[in-house]
Structures are given as structure tokens and as C-alpha cells.
Amino acid sequence: MPFNRKAHKFSASIGTVEIGTGDKAIKLGGENVMPFYTFDGSMGDGPKVGVEITDLGLDAEPQGVKDYYAGCTSFADIAKKAEAMPGGDFVVLRLAGGDPNGANKSTEELVAIAKEVSDAISCPLVVEGSKNVEKDAELLPKVAQALEGKNVLLMSAKEENYKAIGAAAALAYNQKVGAESAVDINLAKQLNVVMTQLGVSAQSIVMNTGSAAAGYGFDYTISTFDRVRAAALGQDDKMLQMPIITPVASETWSVKESTAEESDAPEFWGPVEERGIAMEVETAVACLVSASDAVILKHPKSVATISEFIKSLM
């Protein structure tokens, strides 16, 4: 009997969210099939890769990252270099220094950095906050204001601060907003519902439904992806049809597989930087084949590998 291929078609599709302006603007989402099932339908423009830089400079970065940015003396330089990284589609500025429990940089200082980065590049920009809900509620609206007209994606609005961030980012300054929830399909949906009730349109929301390094409770992340996608496509659940963006680098580069020096690690583990890249790549691949419409990475080798991976599957 000949093999008869049956296409698994859905009548629903993931929404499209555009970030950036001009020629280099990108569209996240738009697929109407399970990840990379291009034989069944459309994957839209395909998943995108973001290149992460932070306001903390390069001192703490792995050697390969330092080498890539060698010679850069300002955030503008770093941003330009990040934009030029082969395989990257957009730049992500993570304002980690804003954390009151860390460097506690002032909002003004961070907004100035964001402005400097934004002015230096022409590709789309994503700005991540400090992860402190109070600080982000103050910081991200100011960033949204300073970068008006650039159509940036601000991450992230959470249940505790979605009003301040959602209202400023999407309503007042016409930017896009990331909605972050903690690995639970219902909490993800609830946040989307209250954001849209606030007046933020579904086309301005990108979800971050949770992230982890592979091996670190990662099964929850993946199972949430699966279920969000199944509900979005299978049940046409409008409040779960936002594209998903997943920060990977900020999770994978801090676990012991990526940080333990060779002298402290079991013999067969090998060189520390290779391990870090492997963690970043493995995690990103798993996210992409499960649902992510964009991943955020930082090592040039990872960016190149993942971008190649996406191309070969499209």
C-alpha cells in the first residue's frame, strides 16, 4: 500500500507581531502548523534569533563573547557589533544593572544606555528589564518613552506590573510588550486577558511563558509550550495565539555546566566555554522545536549554529 501523507492542518494560526522599523523590521509568529511542520502548512517568516548584550559591559562574559566584541569602547560600539553578528535577526539589551539588589543603576542612566544602543543600530531592538517588578514598572515605561517611534519590544510585563508597563509601552508609546508568566498555561492566558482588557491589542503582545536551562526544570517549560500551542492552534484560543519569545542565554550561562572551571568539573566534561555553548544551543533547539518564535542568545557560535539550524529546517 502506498504511503499517503496526511497534512495536519489547523484552521487557526499564531498572530503576527512586527518589531523594528524599515527594511530590517521582523515579523514574529504567523505560523499555522506545529513547529517546523513546513510540509503541513506555513511557518510564517520562521523563528528569529536575538543577540543579547547588557548594560553591565563585557567583563563577566565568556572569552568567546569578549573576543567577538574586542575593541568596542562604548555601548554604541557593542550594539553595532551585535547587530552585525552573523545569524542574528535583532538585538536584545538586557538592563540587568537596574536590579535594586544588584548594581542598582538609576533609571536615567539605563534609559540613556537604551537610547545610545537604539540610535546605533537599524535592526529591531528588544529591551529587557531588571527582573525586579517595581523597578521595571518605573524603568520600562521610561524606556518606551525614550525610544518612541522605534517599535521596540519591552520585556516583561508580569501580573504585578502589567498595568504600568502595558499602558506605557503599548498604549502611550505604541511599542510592543512582552507578557511574562511562570510556566502555567492558565497564568499565561490570564495575563493576556487582563492586558487586552487594559486596551493593549493582541497584535502588540509577545509571550514569554517561562524559560529555564535544559535540565533545570526544563520539562515544565516545554510542557507549557506544548499545551499553549495545542490550545492556540487546536482550539483556536485567541488569548493564547501570541507568538512566544524565550530568553535562553540569561538562563543557560549561569548554571554549573556552563560555569564550572575544568579543574572543578569531572574530567570528561571538557573545556568550560564549549560546555556553555552546548547548553545554550541545546536549550535553544528544544525551545524552537516546541514553540518558541524567537530565542535570545549571546555567544557568536550559538547564534551561528541556531540560525543555521532554523534555515535547514525551513
Partner 1 sequence: MFKVTFQVQGGNTVEAFANEGEKILQIAQRSNVAIDAPCSGNGSCGKCRVKLLSGELDSKQTRHITDEEYAEGWRLACCSTVVGDVTLEVPDIASAYRSRMKVADLSSGEEVQIFENSRKQVIDAGIEQKNNMEVLDVVMNVPSLEDTMPDNERLMRAVSRETGIAHVTIPYSVMVKLARVLRDSQFHVKCVVRKISSDVFIYDIFPSTEQVVIGGLAVDIGTTTVSAILVNMVTGEIIGKASSGNGQIRYGADVINRIIEASRPGGRKRLQDAVVKETINPLVAEMCKASGFKANHIYRMSVASNTTMNHLLMGVYADPIRMEPYIPTFYKTNSLFASDIGICIHPDAHIIVSPNIGSYVGGDITAGAFISMIWNRPETSLFIDLGTNGELVLGNSDFLISCACSAGPAFEGGDISCGMRATDGAIEACTIDFETMEPSFSIIGDPGTKPVGLCGSGLIDVIAELYINGIINSKGKFIRDGRRIKHDKYGMGSYVLAFEEDAGSVRDVEITEVDIDNFIRAKGAIFSAVRTMLNYLDYTVDMIDDVYVAGGIGSGINMRNAVNIGMLPDIPQDKFHYIGNSSLTGAYMELLSTSAEKKVYEVASNMTYLELSTVPTYMDEFVASCFLPHTDTRLFPSVTVKND
Give residues in contact with partner 1 (CB under 8 A): 159, 184-187, 189-190, 193-194, 197, 237, 239
Let me know: does 139 contact 107? Beta carbons within 8 Å.
yes
User: Min. distance of Cβ 237 from partner 1 in angstroms?
Assistant: 8
Residue closer to partner 1, measured from CB, 126 or 244: 244
Element (H, E) at 16: strand 16-19
Q: To which residue does cell 534569533 refer?
A: 49
The gap between the terminal CA atoms of the chain, to the nearest Å, is 30
Angle in degrees, 0-180, between the axes of helices 133-146 and 107-120, rounded to the nearest 10: 40
User: Min. distance of Cβ 182 from partner 1 in angstroms?
Assistant: 11
User: Min. distance of Cβ 92 from partner 1 in angstroms?
Assistant: 29
Let me know: does 235 contact 203? Beta carbons within 8 Å.
no
Phi, psi at 64, each rounded to 5°:
-60, -35
User: Min. distance of Cβ 202 from partner 1 in angstroms?
Assistant: 14
Residue closer to partner 1, measured from CB, 189 or 275: 189
User: Min. distance of Cβ 161 from partner 1 in angstroms?
Assistant: 11
DSSP secondary structure of 236-285 = --GGG-S-BEEE-HHHHTTSHHHH--TTTS-GGG--HHHHHHHHHHHHHH
CA 181 to CA 190: how far, in whole Å?
9
Residue closer to partner 1, measured from CB, 72 or 200: 200
DSSP E strands: which ranges in 145-231? 153-157, 176-180, 205-208
Let me know: does 93 contact 139? Beta carbons within 8 Å.
no
* Amino acid at site 119: D
User: Min. distance of Cβ 186 from partner 1 in angstroms?
Assistant: 4
Residue closer to partner 1, measured from CB, 45 or 184: 184
CA 65 to CA 75: how far, in whole Å?
15
User: Min. distance of Cβ 239 from partner 1 in angstroms?
Assistant: 8
Residue closer to partner 1, measured from CB, 26 or 194: 194
Give the Å distances, CA to CA, from 180 to 78, 87, 160, 168, 189. 27, 26, 10, 16, 10
Residue closer to partner 1, measured from CB, 239 or 313: 239
Residue closer to partner 1, measured from CB, 119 or 134: 134
User: Min. distance of Cβ 172 from partner 1 in angstroms?
Assistant: 17
Residue closer to partner 1, measured from CB, 106 or 223: 223
CA 227 to CA 246: how far, in whole Å?
16
